[in-house]
Amino acid sequence: MANEHGNLSINSQNIFPIIKKWMYSDHDIFYRELISNGCDAITKLKKLDLIGEYEAPDDIEYKIQVKVSPEKKTIQIIDNGIGMTKEEVNEYINQIAFSGAEAFLEKYKDKTNEDQIIGHFGLGFYSAFMVADKVTIDTLSFKDGASAVHWECDGGTEYDMQDTTKEEPGTAITLYLNEDSYEFANEYKAREVIEKYCSFMPIPIFLENEDAGEQTEEIPEEEVTEKDKVLDTFIKDAVTEEVEKEDGTKETVEKVPAKKMAKIVKRPVALNDIHPLWTKHPNECTDEEYKEFYRTVFKDYKEPLFWIHLNMDYPFNLKGILYFPKINTEYESIEGTIKLYNNQVFVADNIKEVIPEFLLLLKGVIDCPDLPLNVSRSALQNDGFVKKISEYITKKVGDKLSGMYKTDKENYEKYWDDINPFIKFGCLKDEKFYEKMKDFIIFKNLDGKYLTLQECLDENKEHHENTVFYVTDETEQSQYINMFKEEGIDAVILTHNIDQPFVTHLEGKNENLKFQRIDADLSDSFKEETSEDELKELTETLSDVFKKALNNDKLNIKVEKLKNASISSMITLSEQDRRMQDMMKMYNMYGMDPSMFGANGQTLVLNANNDLVKYIVDHKDGENTPVFCEQLYDLALLSHAPLTPEQMTNFIARSNKIMELLAK
Ligand SMILES: Nc1ncnc2c1ncn2[C@@H]1O[C@H](COP(=O)(O)OP(=O)(O)OP(=O)(O)O)[C@@H](O)[C@H]1O
């Protein structure tokens, strides 16, 4: 072919400046685009070989080679795939791709970042110009009689094409990096980017630093294969050790015998796993493989609790593995990662348009070749097909969990403390998931037994109808817990942030159902039968004394005769008021007067059967009465909520004073 010089068939003057600016932060995706083009080219050739339209040499080793040269500031991506004829370069590179890229950019150039094209699919070959001033293609088509083509373009609208020599079919793309992009020729940077995007591509990828010189390694000679380039052979001395014999004399014994070794050119190691676990059938995968995959992909050395292997071909193609991670501490925020792949090519993490929001708390991989990824995120959100995929994933997770409840309850209960925030979040976010899971939500009771909602209600029917009492802090609320236990009344433990909105949700779903925190109100079971008048009189007396002693006119005081005489004072706060206060805390409305929202605060309950309370009634004006009142109030507060720093300081000082009085 004579030298051919031509104009790229585009209408706008120059799209390269736009390409170069495109998604500044994601310039590294050119690696993905070019390597996946190479994988596609090889996959096509393998198919042709399979159907008899091409006969590959017996010793063919399909692979992608990435060669970086920090000195020359070049990157080469070489495949031994299908290659291109001159006509194909014309068609795919000079015409179609350019006008395609132009249309693509035209469509999206005004869009803001929020509306990014998913993973920027479709940028293709031209993404090379984000990092390179000049790009060349050397390619030889697999077709009989094809001649090799050299193509070159320096980022303008013109290209040059000429014959070249190339022995084997395939394509080599060479990037001459621009000044801002030299880092991509750094071996470690290249490795990092390739591992990010190409870890599971279906063709082995090898990285080589052209400037690093020949790397070597030493292996036992018997392990040398035909493919190895042997540089030297030598004998590695035996390893010996001096040991003491029974008679006390010493002897030298051979631990490892002398060995014939070979020094060879370092064997290349592929950067990717071409058969990621999700592509295998679940029956073929062992637990150890699942765990190993989890460790490698998520760099999490805590073992996952369990996993779900998604595997379907119809009505759409979807494979993946979702792991339920172990949450180590109560305080660790749960943050998962779901990696999305398209035919083993990494697209992006946590695409909430495709993956239901609550599943993003898990860790996992999803590969869905059918996804329309070259559309904007907002279009994806409204896509019926994408919704179906998302619903399918949710359904599968629900199936797995409900199945586990039914057939492996022991483990389900074992995992419950770790997985319940996730399930509850899912129920709040997704009606269908709630419907699927509602009968499999369990509650840990005061004895550490797990009960369903219905079981909780049935168990306590005699004491309270349709009410579930719950504990949010076992230490703080221990006094109430003891009272409940004494009366044989049960409560459940709900300590996670998600529990408050979740119980509200359950109340909305179940008519008449009420959740009450254990300190919300004192049920009649704890009280002795007594006359209303007597209590009223005591309440008036004690209210006066306490209000005066605590210098607090607004204090609500209620006197009860509690069966347990050792309890002196308690705080109760109605469920509704407490939820209001919690909500205010959540929205950072500290310092506001709760009464603004109708929350009129706590009630100090005093036990008329308690000796200290009796003492106060009998010594209204006693010298030490105010101290008793303050102390009883603080003790009640302590078992309800943490004291403020000022309250705590006073409490400690007063406690010391009381002991001094006792010591006198
Ligand atoms: N390494 C290669 N070997 C053979 N053909 C190639 C190679 N790279 C690109 N091509 C041809 O050029 C065409 C255009 O490539 P480009 O990367 O721009 O778009 P694409 O791969 O079709 O789509 P995508 O936008 O998904 O990358 C390809 O469809 C393919 O026919």
Summarised one tens digit per residue, pLDDT across range 177-222 is: 999 999 999 999 999 999 999 999 999 999 999 999 888 999 999 9
Contact call for residues 427 and 433 (beta carbons, < 8 A): yes
pLDDT at 2: 65
Question: Is 33 a pocket residue for ligand 1 (Cβ < 6 Å)?
Answer: yes
**Secondary structure of residue 308 in the 3-state scheme:** strand
Return the residue whose CA atom lies nearest to atom 19 of ligand 1.
124
CA torsion, points 272, 278, 280, 285, in degrees to nearest 10? 100
Phi, then psi, of 574 in degrees rounded to 5:
-60, 150
Q: How far apart are CA 302 and CA 326, in angstroms?
A: 7
pLDDT at 159: 85
String of b and e for 473-496 (b: at least 16 CB within 10 Å)?
A: eeebbebbbebbeeeebbbbbbeb
Q: And the tokens for 321?
A: 């593995």
- In the chain, pLDDT over 90 holds for what percent of residues? 50
pLDDT at 483: 86
Sequence-ordered list of residues with C-beta below 8 angstroms from that of 288, at least 6 positions apart, any chain = none
Phi, then psi, of 68 in degrees rounded to 5:
-110, 145
Q: Distance between terminal CA atoms of the chain?
A: 114
Q: How far apart are CA 47 and CA 54, in angstroms?
A: 9
Amino acid at 227: K
Delimit the domains of the chain by residue range: 4-209, 216-265, 277-409, 525-663
**Secondary structure of residue 218 in the 3-state scheme:** strand
Question: In the beta sheet, which residues pair with residue 165?
Answer: none
Question: Is 97 a pocket residue for ligand 1 (Cβ < 6 Å)?
Answer: yes
The ipTM value here is 0.97
Burial class (CB in 10 A: 0-12, 13-18, 19+), 333: exposed
pLDDT at 112: 46
Return the residue whose CA atom lies nearest to atom 22 of ligand 1.
124
Class of domain 525-663: mainly alpha
Q: How far apart are CA 460 and CA 455, in angstroms?
A: 9
pLDDT at 96: 56
CATH code, 4-209: 3.30.565.10
Tell me: cis bond preceding 304? Omega within 30 of 0 counts: no
Q: How far is the CA of 413 from the centre of ligand 1 (A)?
A: 51
Q: How far is the CA of 35 from the centre of ligand 1 (A)?
A: 10
Q: How far is the CA of 36 from the centre of ligand 1 (A)?
A: 9
CB atoms within 10 A of CB 136: 20
Summarised one tens digit per residue, pLDDT across range 566-591 is: 889 988 887 877 787 777 776 665 55
Q: How far is the CA of 111 from the centre of ligand 1 (A)?
A: 25
Question: Is 41 a pocket residue for ligand 1 (Cβ < 6 Å)?
Answer: yes
Q: And the tokens for 377?
A: 């995120």
Question: Is 78 a pocket residue for ligand 1 (Cβ < 6 Å)?
Answer: no
E-only strand ranges, 72-215? 74-79, 132-140, 149-153, 158-163, 170-177, 205-209
Class of domain 277-409: alpha beta
Q: How far is the CA of 125 from the centre of ligand 1 (A)?
A: 6
Amino acid at 134: K
Phi/psi zone of residue 83: left (φ > 0), alpha (ψ -120 to 50 degrees), beta? left
* pTM of the complete model beyond 0.80: no
Contact call for residues 627 and 603 (beta carbons, < 8 A): no
Q: How far is the CA of 468 from the centre of ligand 1 (A)?
A: 62
Closest CA to 168 of 35, 36, 39, 63: 63
Closest CA to 130 of 180, 69, 73, 197: 180
Q: How far apart are CA 206 and CA 184, in angstroms?
A: 16
Contact call for residues 358 and 401 (beta carbons, < 8 A): no
* Closest approach atom of ligand 1 to CA 123: 25
Q: How far is the CA of 268 from the centre of ligand 1 (A)?
A: 27
Q: How far apart are CA 501 and CA 424, in angstroms?
A: 9
Q: What is the DSSP letter of 234?
A: E
Q: How far is the CA of 92 from the centre of ligand 1 (A)?
A: 7
Residue indicated by tokens 């050790």: 241
Return the residue whose CA atom lies nearest to atom 28 of ligand 1.
92
Q: How far apart are CA 522 and CA 537, in angstroms?
A: 20
pLDDT at 71: 97
Mutate to test the pocket of ligand 1, among 10, 31, 34, 40 (most ligand atoms within 8 A of CB): 40
Q: How far apart are CA 652 and CA 648, in angstroms?
A: 6
In this prediction, the residues of the chain whose per-residue pLDDT falls under 50 are 11-13, 23-24, 112, 114, 594-595, 597-599
Question: Is 81 a pocket residue for ligand 1 (Cβ < 6 Å)?
Answer: yes
Contact call for residues 65 and 73 (beta carbons, < 8 A): no
Question: Is 124 a pocket residue for ligand 1 (Cβ < 6 Å)?
Answer: yes
